[in-house]
Amino acid sequence: MLCLSSFLFFASFNMIIPELPAYLTSLGGEDYKGLIISLFTLTAGLSRPFSGKLADKIGRIPVMVFGAGICFVVSLMYPVITSVAGFLLLRFVHGFSTGFTPTGVSAYVADIVPFNRRGEAMGLQSLFGSMGMAAGPALGGYIGQIWGIEPLFYASAFTAILSILVIIRLKETMQDPEKMSRKHLRLHRHEIIEKRVLQPSLVLLLTVFSFGTVLTIIPDYSEYLGIQNKGLFFAVFTLSSLGIRIIAGKTSDKYGRIPVMKVATLSMAIAMVLIAFAQSKTMLMLGGVIFGCSVGMNSPTISAWTIDLSLDAYRGRALATMYIALEAGIGIGALISGWVFANKAENFPLVFSLGAITAIIAFFYLFLLPKEQRFLVPEDKE
């Protein structure tokens, strides 16, 4: 049930992404394309400390429901507010959705899965999320082409409400959750960042820089290469990540998180170089396949590594810290790529090469970790 809800949630807000750059341009905001993703991720990052604390205090399910509810409401508002400023405000608010729901989902998974199968479980959960990320843009691109942008926004809202109907059927895993009160919205300094998980969070920030670039620039790049469905690349890279997620999770359970991450970061660098210098649809899609494999290895392994290092009582906070790094990396990648691209086709190679550089930095950083980090496997903790 949790996996089904994740599928619907990720499909909801991802199905509109391929059409947003063109929609913003139609509103007269072509110079603000970099803000489409960066504003979304900024809010998600800012809300993570609150979602982490609330997940640890009032329960996992209320946090998941709140995030999906934001998706529903905002998707209904897009057709109503048609100014550039209003659109950017909605993108800012929309970010609360991913600031809350994934934190609750990851904590819920960690609650119900034994340590020695944690990587496998995170791989399975992220598999369904990725299927939503693949189905969303592909379906969204189709709806946008056939029926237009407004029906697409309504389809996004409908998908979000379906995910809520699934979530509310789940049983809360927290023992004795507290009632919501004002004190839960007051953050102390030590409640913002969980220091125990800074190392995986830094690796995540460096690797998802490329993801922000892809989300922002690929729709224009696809059009430049003559690809009509701007969601096709998203479908290719996400589908290529599906099968490898569970394999990567199981491998990290057996051999450790760091060896898998080394392969993931190196693959990311190779993919971004291929994408940067693609001159055809075939080469772009090949880069998308390798990019997807990298993402498929990265996501469940980083999540499991973060949970490995966290304390049970502060699991929500630890996962929130990881997601802050996720949003920061995506947001920075989106903002910088939009600024460097500047709507000039000759800048495509430079934009994607920056993602290769950050992935290489992450690759070498993994070799600098303390020995106990580099070889952490389930048996060590047991």
Give me the residue spans of the domains in the chain. 2-170+191-381
pLDDT for the residue 373? 56
Q: Mean pLDDT in the chain?
A: 85
Q: Label residue 83 exposed, middle or buried (CB < 10 Å: 0-12, 13-18, 19+).
A: exposed
pLDDT for the residue 372? 55
pLDDT in tens, 281-325: 889 999 999 999 999 899 889 988 988 888 877 788 888 888 888
| pTM, rounded to two decimals | 0.72
Both tokens of 229, joined, read 């469905």
pLDDT for the residue 380? 46
Residue 234 carries which side chain, given as an amino acid letter? F
Both tokens of 267, joined, read 């693959």
pLDDT for the residue 259? 92
Residues of the chain below pLDDT 50: 374-375, 377-382
Are 72 and 376 contacting, i.e. CB atoms less than 8 angstroms apart? Answer: no
Class of domain 2-170+191-381: mainly alpha
Please tell me the distance from the alpha carbon of residue 78 to that of residue 98, in angstroms, as a whole number: 17
Which ranges of the chain would DSSP assign to H, the alpha helix? 2-14, 20-26, 34-57, 60-77, 84-112, 118-146, 149-167, 198-224, 232-255, 257-276, 281-309, 315-341, 348-366, 371-374, 378-381
What residues contact 25, with CB distance under 8 A and at least 6 apart? 33
pLDDT for the residue 89? 92
Please tell me the distance from the alpha carbon of residue 80 to that of residue 180, in angstroms, as a whole number: 32
* CB-side neighbour CA atoms (13 Å) of 334: 24
Please tell me the distance from the alpha carbon of residue 307 to that of residue 310, in angstroms, as a whole number: 5
CA distances in angstroms from 19 to 2, 138, 155, 216, 240, listed in the order given: 28, 11, 13, 11, 22
pLDDT for the residue 226? 84
pLDDT for the residue 371? 60
Are 269 and 246 contacting, i.e. CB atoms less than 8 angstroms apart? Answer: no
